[in-house]
Chains A and B, each alone.
Chain A
Amino acid sequence: MKQFTYTITDALGIHARPAGLLVKKAAEFKSTVTVDNGVKKGDAKKIMSLMMMAVKQGHNVTFTIEGEDEDAAAAALEAFMKENL
């Protein structure tokens, strides 16, 4: 299992567009990707679940990645978050 925490800097939080991109990124890997902002948990491979978390700017979001390609997935997702959110 791999974990990392990221603080959202995007002014709109995880809104529709980045949520869509994040789902695409997570879907590239076999591992399960769970997102937790301390209030709700969501599945990074499901856009509605992600959007319903209503992640805002300044939220600390913890990613938990589990599966055979977890190392690569964690690195790619962390880079994605830094780049886009």
Chain B
Amino acid sequence: MIICSGKSVLKGIAIGKIYLFKKQEYILEQKLIEDVEAEVARFEAAKAKAMEQLDALYQKALKEAGEEQAMIFDVHKMMLDDGDYLENICNMIREEKVNAEFAVNLTGESFSSVFASMDDEYMKARSVDVLDISKRVVNILAGIVDGGIDSEEPVILLADDLSPSETVQLDKSKILAFVTKNGSANSHTAILARSMNIPALVKTDVALLEEYNGMEAIVDGIEGNFILNPDAATAAKLRTKKEEYEKEKAELLELIGKDNVTTDGRRINVYANIGNTQDVDKVLENDGGGIGLFRSEFIYLGRDTYPTEEEQFKIYKEVLSGMGGKKVIIRTLDIGADKQVDYFNLPKEENPAMGYRAIRICLDRVEMFKTQLRAIYRASAFGTAAIMFPMIISVNEIRKIKEIVEEVKAELIKEGISFNHVELGIMIETPAAVMISEELAKEVEFFSIGTNDLTQYTLAIDRQNQSLDNIYDSHHPAVLRMIQMTIENGHKGGAWVGICGELASDTTLTKTFIDMGIDELSVSPTYILGLRKTIREI
């Protein structure tokens, strides 16, 4: 038995025989060409044929794997038609009098090495695409036909890495799992595995030995292990694990479309927390009822200037229309404390968690705040938007915020820009907000409890201080009573109450929260169905 480890891109377990995927062997030769124009013409003809193949692959991928997979072949066509790439090849043939195979191969390698050396994971992964188009043309020139999987039963495909052409040409019904020695979470193998929903490991520390071909093996995508020639005990253990995992997964998937309702009829909204626009797909896949926390910080991070209204509008609009009318609660800027941005020029602080952060900055830099509010209100025309404000400690802050909101709305009306009703709410994350929650509830339509900060401020324990981890207890009775008080006072004042902190996904507390009268729980998209299961069993 040999156990190798890799990076899992999709959970799940596959058991079967290994199929060692080998690249077609082709020995490239450099030849001296007499009639260079004829050689250029031979290249042009091969290129035209490659374009036809790419068209066909595009159609095949579109049918089998969807648009995301297919698009790459459209990009390949454009790469193959790239002016610089073609010029390089034709110049080599004409000036160095080399054969087309050699010119294409060398040009492909040199363009590919530029991508490979880029300081960007996504672009690095594109170096494979350049090699792939070049290899396609070389194969046509040399008359090589790519092979498929030579096996009757489905196999675990073991390869160095797979190019897009190789992945699309594979017979999908014969693949149980992918294991690659190279590749990354952005590689085509990983993308394909995700779209096929089968386990896959990349960057696996496995040798590609001929003797592995046909060997029994197990891919454990949960632990990231690749086990070759497993002994009986290991095989039995993993077989059970596979059954349990699949049963659990099937049970959760059956919950899609079902209500979040307890056995005694109490209904709770289960929403999702997201941190960027791509997460919307995950929310929909997991049947989230809405977005309970859209952290807007990512719009401000990783740049040198404040994002413009237009930039923000586009992002909010994308999420709102993506959610198709389901509620999206956008939290306004929560920068400061552990999230720092250079261009904000925030002063160094002794105690940033209790310092100049979140709404405190927004109420001080009103123009920046208004830009965000205008962008959200404009986007509200494309779905159901709500806004919540972080780090509130007083009624006065909300009144100020509401004045600013009214100004923004008046401006938009004056400019003839339409918007929908936007629910306004606040985060409850300070003990002060909890103590005055009854008054706060009269000012807003909802509360969302941020349990991470609320625990930190209630227990006076710095979340970043690792030496206090053993006493940081989010189940502390003080924290739970804070939550209970917030829910009661919220309801008294006419506001609905949700939780968007880590505690929302803690299923040992779900019943406690429901008994307290919680209206909404907002969790990471992957926890939605698990939470629904817990609720339905209460």
Contacts and interface: CB of A to CB of B under 8 A. Distances in A.
A12 B310 CA distance: 18
Given A7-B311, A46-B84, 14 more contacts: A9-B307, A9-B310, A9-B315, A11-B277, A16-B71, A17-B71, A20-B78, A23-B78, A24-B78, A48-B82, A48-B111, A48-B130, A52-B123, A56-B302
Contacts of B72: 16
A58 B84 contact: no
A57 interface: yes
Return the 8 tightest CB-CB contacts between A and B, nearest first.
Answer: A58-B303, A9-B311, A47-B78, A16-B75, A48-B82, A54-B120, A46-B83, A20-B78
Given A47-B78, A58-B303, A58-B304, A15 B122 contact: yes
Interface in B242-291: 276-278
Contact of A58 (B82, B83, B118, B302): B302
Interface of A: 7, 9, 11-12, 15-17, 19-20, 23-24, 43, 45-49, 51-52, 54, 56-58, 82
B231 interface: no
Interface of B: 71-72, 74-75, 78-79, 82-85, 111, 114-115, 118-120, 122-123, 126, 129-130, 276-278, 298, 302-305, 307-308, 310-311, 314-315
B311 A51 contact: no
A54 B123 contact: yes
Contacts of A19: 75
A5 B212 CA distance: 55
Contacts of B302: 56-58
Nearest to A45: B83
Contacts of A15: 122
Contacts of A52: 114-115, 118, 123
B123 A47 contact: no
A48 B115 CA distance: 9
Interface majority SS (helix, strand, loop, mixed), chain B = helix
A43 B259 CA distance: 53
A30 to B, nearest CB: 15
A12 B83 contact: no
Nearest to A16: B75
B319 to A, nearest CB: 12
A63 B123 CA distance: 22
Contacts of B310: 9, 82
Contacts of B123: 51-52, 54
Contact of A43 (B83, B114, B118, B304): B83
A16 B82 CA distance: 13
A12 B318 CA distance: 15
B74 to A, nearest CB: 6
B84 A51 contact: no
A20 B83 contact: no
A20 B74 contact: yes
A17 B305 CA distance: 26
Contacts of A9: 307, 310-311, 314-315
Contacts of B115: 51-52
A84 to B, nearest CB: 10
18 contacts: A7-B305, A9-B307, A9-B315, A15-B122, A17-B71, A20-B78, A24-B78, A45-B83, A46-B84, A47-B75, A47-B79, A48-B84, A49-B82, A51-B115, A52-B114, A54-B118, A56-B302, A58-B304
Contacts of A82: 310
A52 B278 CA distance: 24
B54 to A, nearest CB: 12
B78 A57 contact: no
Contacts of A47: 75, 78-79, 82
Contacts of B314: 9
